[in-house]
Structure 1
């Protein structure tokens, strides 16, 4: 029996952050329990001179999906990536990272997910990897095509570039097509509809463009059913729930206020990227 949808949520309003930069929050920072391990999801449209110059993070990971344009990543480890439409960037901040994300000459339209890390892994070494669109597993069926960046779908499987396990799929369905999305026990996931309209879950809850549907496989491995009522493009994210306290402030996500204070102290003293294990 397919999982039922826990709730439907809509993206927030689009805001102007500065010259040539607009942003909206799809998953807003909030009480983290019902969203764990997902911290937030931001959608950005930006072009030079806008961008995200060098800045810090600790205690979490970012998963960035490029919808259009080009993004250029650099960090203190020497990692460098130039991502195009359909590419995904996995970055583990761990104990500390200093990185920048800047648009290519024509600008970029991106989705960036913040993924939590459990306490035992928050101080892991920073790392970075790209998953190119052409390298994603391509799965086709009756009326659908899925690009699998991480996780499992049918007989296909891709390793997750994040430290914390993650499933990530780019889905395109014709009207009337259906697809069953696997959900492992203890995992929470959401379907973000980018275009069109679909029915999600055992109760066939209607989800429209700019909305996302949440589900949680609490008791056993299960499936989340997706049925397109119009041509649909959607992204599917899923990961194991982390049942721990979350204290987030600015670019740092830890478990206690003292750990947040330590993160700021390490950043201000220049030790952020050397304090991790």
Structure 2
């Protein structure tokens, strides 16, 4: 198969905004710059200090992927599931028909990424489930001057074992200055990159710390050159191609389905049984 380089369509610095109870986030996807990038609904680069966090709140119709970069976070949901995510670990939560949960720092400060991945209409009301992995259990790949953590998809011939209802690639790349990295990507998948540290060059464009770049959809290869010691995350996903109707934490295909989600949540039915009376320990301890 011939290789065709992806072109960088645009680059931007996402703005900082408040979220939850006292959290500060850079909203790369899902904000003013990029409303959504099918199948990606949102990406936040978040910093949270005690005693702030994300109090009890619901989700329906999509998946959330929490990746902790610094510190330790705890979480709890209304079905009795709880735990901690340490630096370098992930929680992949398929909300499906309904989850109510809470998230807060254990350490004084946490820094992390939260990604929202849309689900196709036939998966939106699936039973919720979790995938949780410590840093040691995530797939890794290495080559000269390059270290990669593969959260979903594959890189350098290594494939993550994460189950992805919506096919995506999610990799965390650290590069020494002067290193060059090539990543294969499916043609016509949407793709973007976000710089956590340092400076890289993509398609003759320099991208700096806290800057994002959106690729066009034609091509099956992206090439990154590290101009400084750098760390960045790369995402690619197969577009679902369905109408997106979102109201806060509910993402469906029709307005009527959003109305139904709100009724189900308020009445505690159809996946939200017990939601009206549940209060997390995290919220009670605040």
Pair 1:248-2:250 in alignment: no
Give me the whole-angstrom Cα distance separating, in 2, the residues matched to 1:16 and 1:55: 12
CA RMSD after TM alignment = 2.1
| Alpha-carbon offset, residue 153 of structure 1 | 0.9
Aligned to 1:212: 212
Moved more, 190-199 or 130-139: 130-139
Pair 1:9-2:12 in alignment: yes
Structure 2 counterparts to residues 135-146 of structure 1, below 5 A = 135-146=137-148
Alignment partner of 2:110 out of 94, 108, 114? 108
* Per-residue deviation, residues 80-105 of structure 1 (Å, max 9, x unmatched): 23101111110111111111112104
Structure 2 counterparts to residues 29-108 of structure 1, below 5 A = 29=31, 35-108=37-110
* Per-residue deviation, residues 15-39 of structure 1 (Å, max 9, x unmatched): 48755x3233222346978611111
Give me the whole-angstrom Cα distance separating, in 2, the residues matched to 1:50 and 1:120: 36
Gaps of 5+ in 1: none
Higher strand share: 1
Aligned to 2:133: 131
Aligned to 2:28: 26
Task: Report the TM-score when normalising by structure 1.
Answer: 0.90
Moved more, 46-55 or 58-67: 46-55
Give me the whole-angstrom Cα distance separating, in 1, the residues matched to 2:41 and 2:198: 26
How many equivalent pairs are there? 270
For the residue of structure 2 that corresponds to 1:56, the secondary structure is strand
Residues 272 and 57 of structure 1: CA distance in aligned 2, closer, same or farther (over 3 Å): farther
| Alpha-carbon offset, residue 232 of structure 1 | 0.8
